């Protein structure tokens, strides 16, 4: 009789351990599957390309801090009309303090967007800026190559790398 009880107890314990393991694995699997679904939600190419509109609108405010706020703290800016590489917020503000008096208005000519994952993307291509000389009022158009590398920080897209250079054959 003791042997039958021990077998029953062991069988019952094994069943409880097995059921607990199945529930635990199922819960972990559900959490992983849910996390995978959220992580898989990539932005569209149109959404990434539209980040330029936000940046261009910030230029139009004439406020260098507003423009610089679109960049990550450790962003790198290789600007169009300066030979100095900007690697922090203060340097990026400084660049825009000198660039914005020209009242730049940007327009994309060619756009190539690569969405890397739900939190990073690259927008490259060609754009042109109409610049107005602050003294004479004369306008000129500058065509340049560009690349913006974006990363999401706390749910907000930030520029982590921005390169812009005048077209070499222009």
Q: What is the pLDDT along the chain (170 residues), one digit of tens a residue?
A: 545 444 444 444 444 444 444 444 443 443 444 444 445 589 999 999 999 999 999 999 999 999 999 999 999 999 998 999 999 999 999 999 999 999 999 999 999 999 999 999 999 999 999 999 999 999 999 999 999 999 999 999 999 999 999 998 85
Q: Which CA distances in Å does 55 have to 52, 62, 118?
A: 5, 12, 20
What pairing do the DSSP bridges indicate for beta strands 156-166 and 139-153? antiparallel
pLDDT of res. 18: 43
pLDDT of res. 170: 59
**Full strand arrangement of the beta sheet holding 71-78:** 71-78, 156-166, 139-153, 120-132, 105-117
pLDDT of res. 168: 87
The DSSP output letter for 102 is G
CA 20 to chain centre: 42
Cβ(138)–Cβ(158) below 8 Å: no
pTM confidence score: 0.76
């Amino acid at each position: 009789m003791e042997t039958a009880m021990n077998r029953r107890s062991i069988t019952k314990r094994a069943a409880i351990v097995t059921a607990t393991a199945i529930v635990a694995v199922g819960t972990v699997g559900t959490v992983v599957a849910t996390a995978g679904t959220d992580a898989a939600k990539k932005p569209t190419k149109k959404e990434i390309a539209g980040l330029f509109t936000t940046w261009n609108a910030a230029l139009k405010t004439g406020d260098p801090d507003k423009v610089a706020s679109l960049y990550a703290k450790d962003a790198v800016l290789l600007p169009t009309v300066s030979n100095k590489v900007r690697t922090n917020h203060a340097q990026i503000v400084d660049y825009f303090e000198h660039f914005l008096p020209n009242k730049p208005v940007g327009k994309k000519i060619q756009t190539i967007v690569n969405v890397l994952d739900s939190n990073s993307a690259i927008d490259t291509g060609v754009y042109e800026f109409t610049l107005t000389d602050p003294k004479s009022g004369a306008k000129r158009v500058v065509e340049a190559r560009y690349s913006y590398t974006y990363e999401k920080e706390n749910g907000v897209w930030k520029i982590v790398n921005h390169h812009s250079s005048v077209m070499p054959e222009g």
